[in-house]
A and B are shown apart, each in its own frame.
Chain A
Amino acid sequence: MIITNNDWVFNKYKNSLNVVYIDGTFKDVLIAVRDKLHMGHELLTHPLGSSVKPSETPYKSIMITDNKNNINFNSIYMIENAIITYDKFNKDKLKFINEKIAEDLKLIDLTVLESALNI
């Protein structure tokens, strides 16, 4: 399952994979993933993939298991740390993203996700 707020990811994979589109911020994606993890899903990709900081990009796609199991504490630990890390970045710069930049950032998010899909 892919949780994402990147419409490029949603549009590209909605018919072939289980994609949940979040109409919200990077943090909304982290929270949505966190909620799923507490219900027994597991993280498949690191929630802070890519060195583009949360202060530089509003887009994030994260892959988790489709199936639920017992709670995986490593996943919980990772998502909670990711949220803490997210909060420490100053997001003022995000106001200045124009369409071209947004496209570039969506592309980066997409390619980083795809680096995991190729497995």
Chain B
Amino acid sequence: MKLELGYIFIKDIQFSDVSKVENGTLYVNKEEVKALILEDQNFKKADVELAKPGESVRIMPVKDVIEPRVKVEGPGGIFPGMINKVETVGSGKTNVLKGAAVLTTGKIVGFQEGIIDMTGPGADYTPFSKLNNLVLVCEPIDSLKQHEHEKALRFAGYKVALYLGALAKNLTPDEVEVFETPTLVEGLKMYPGLPRVAYVFMLQSQGLLHDTYVYGVDAKQSLTTMIYPTEVMDGAIVSGNCVSACDKNTTYHHLNNPIIHDLFAEHGKTLNFVGVIITNENVYLADKERSSYWSAKLVEFLGVDGVIVSEEGFGNPDTDLIMNCKKIEAKGIKTVLVTDEYAGRDGTSQSLADADASANAVVSAGNANEVIELPPMEKLIGHVKVADVIAGGFDGSLHKDGSITAELQVITGATNEMGFNKLSAR
């Protein structure tokens, strides 16, 4: 399967009468976006704001971050099974508004994680402070149940992302990157001397605000299976996971999966990137066992020499991570795990909730318990009322001057376990 990603670099975002992309600036018609959101009658009010790199802006609580993309050539549409039909994606050409993102915010449940600061120390911890963001602030109708609110918000985000993505359909990309995965048989012939590597991609799947969807199917209900790496680039996997901010994979992370990109970078040179296995992280123990046996079985069947395993979340996914590691290593296949740590505020606690001697190659995305000070920002986008009301409504406390003492956990994407960032710990 071969996909050409065409990047249109966005350096600025502004409101305008006509939505378009011109000279690297994304112009957005605010009213059209609002109308799009309000098509869903579950929302009584919608507002759209801009948040640009370097501005003294704090956005919270952030639910998802989505990158605008559009299918230019080839079968299917972005976010298959969600917004578009279920036809297989991942081939042909796709254009990307690189440097832009759609952010959804929403007080779906009581805990208010998910902060993005566009400047200051907090900005260093999240990749989203470097993007030109269109922030959706949507008010649900009263009495909307949490399930429905989450779903409505999720779809609002995808709809707006597709609306923006469509603006790039006929543009000539500034840069093109080509990704190609041969079939198993072709690959064997093309790269006989290279080590065979696969990516075992663990997806959060535990319930409300903890779900991931693959072509619209709840990962919770799915057996471990395989997917082409380029399908992920077209939005085959999307996030319904809002917890916790620092180590959940936003849809943006899924679209830009760094492990997939970095494996492709070496594909055909130092390794043969055979494919991607997706597996879940259910809370039911027998499911964990079943899924990890399945991962190990598929990995062995593919005849790979080594795998990278990434997890999503905290606590019980550590058990899935270790199960996958143990079972795969037991088959003589080497593993490298990517995870974050919860080593306590002083860094001395046991970082993972599970462990095994076979997990001898681990990449760490940092200690999420580290306490940081976020200075006050001039503008707050999202749910200001909540921020005002409770000191300590955040992890730590919101001080009178608007500054926040909190653990790294609250910052969206801070300790991403796909290895998106450079933060680590020793």
Contacts and interface: CB of A to CB of B under 8 A. Distances in A.
Interface string B102-138: 0000001111010000000000000000000000000
A116 B288 CA distance: 11
Among B205, B316, B345, residue most surrounded by chain A Cβ atoms (within 10 Å) = B316
A35 interface: no
A116 B392 contact: no
Interface residues of B, number: 50
A51 B313 contact: yes
A115 interface: yes
Instruction: Tell me the dominant secondary structure on chain B's binding face.
Output: loop
B222 to A, nearest CB: 13
B350 A84 contact: yes
A112 B111 contact: no
Interface string B82-112: 0000000000000000000000000011110
Interface in B305-363: 313-317, 319, 342-345, 349-350, 353-354
Interface in A22-51: 43-51
A102 B345 CA distance: 25
Contact of A88 (B243, B283, B349): B349
Interface string B186-211: 00000000000000000011111110
Interface string B287-304: 110000000000000000
Interface string B348-391: 01100110000000000000010000000000000000000011
B395 A56 contact: yes
A85 B317 CA distance: 13
Contact of A50 (B147, B206, B344, B345): B206
B111 A101 contact: yes
Nearest to A45: B283
Contacts of B108: 104
B210 A51 contact: yes
Nearest to B346: A88
Contacts of B206: 49-51, 112, 115
Given A46-B288, A112-B206, A101 B110 contact: yes
Interface in A82-107: 82, 84-85, 88-90, 92-93, 95-98, 100-105, 107
B392 A95 contact: yes
Contacts of A46: 283, 285, 288, 315-316, 319
A84 B390 CA distance: 29
Given A105-B109, A107-B109, A108-B207, A48 B315 contact: yes
Nearest to A78: B319
B42 interface: no
A107 to B, nearest CB: 6
Given A92-B392, A108-B207, A111-B207, A85 B350 contact: yes
Nearest to A103: B110
Contact of B342 (A43, A88, A96, A101): A88
B182 interface: no
Contact of B283 (A55, A56, A104, A116): A116
A3 B288 CA distance: 20
A1 to B, nearest CB: 14
A90 B205 CA distance: 26
A97 to B, nearest CB: 7
A38 to B, nearest CB: 18
A53 interface: yes
B244 A51 contact: yes
Given A56-B111, A105-B109, A48 B316 contact: yes
Given A49-B315, A85-B353, A116-B282, 13 more contacts: A51-B244, A51-B247, A51-B317, A52-B244, A78-B354, A81-B350, A93-B396, A96-B392, A98-B390, A104-B146, A107-B208, A111-B147, A112-B207
Kindly list the 4 A-B residue pairs having the minimum CB-CB distance in the complex, ordered from nearest: A101-B110, A48-B315, A104-B109, A46-B316
9 contacts: A49-B206, A49-B316, A51-B204, A51-B206, A57-B111, A88-B350, A96-B391, A107-B146, A108-B208
